[in-house]
């Protein structure tokens, strides 16, 4: 689900037990590769609600969350951030990281 406002993103994080929030910018080449990886993981991992957000439209959220760079994957459980990933190593790495959060 594409999110374009800080309020909507915060509400989405609160509304779902498990959330994976993928942050990107359109001109980022690494983000384009990471986006394809996220698409695969989203199909495999049914426990999580996935959100995608163009960080150019969410400067307030970026500042509040102290986002250092893109791509970035924020993993939430019960509305609380559990993990933050900047280096999208591989699809299996992302899948296992999400599973670890869901199982903890």
Q: Of all residues in the chain, what percent are helix, strand and coil, respectively (each to 5)?
A: 45, 25, 30
Cα Rg of the chain, angstroms = 12
Segment-wise mean pLDDT, segments of 10 residues, the chain, 104 residues: 89 92 96 96 91 95 95 96 96 95 84
CB-CB contact of 17 with 46 (8 Å): no
Assign domain 2-88 one CATH number from 3.30.360.10, 3.30.365.10, 3.40.30.10, 3.40.50.1220.
Answer: 3.40.30.10
pTM recorded for the entire structure: 0.93
Coil, strand or helix: which one is 26?
A: coil
Strand partners, 52: 2, 22
């Amino acid at each position: 689900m594409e999110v374009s406002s800080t309020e909507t993103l915060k509400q989405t994080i609160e509304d779902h037990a498990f959330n994976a929030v993928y942050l990107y910018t359109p001109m980022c080449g690494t983000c384009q590769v990471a986006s394809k990886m996220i698409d695969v993981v989203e199909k495999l991992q049914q426990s999580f609600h996935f959100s995608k957000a163009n960080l150019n439209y969410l400067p307030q959220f970026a500042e509040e969350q102290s986002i250092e760079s893109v791509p970035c994957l924020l993993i939430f459980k019960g509305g609380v951030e559990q993990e933050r990933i900047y280096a999208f190593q591989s699809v299996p790495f992302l899948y296992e990281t999400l599973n670890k959060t869901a199982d903890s």
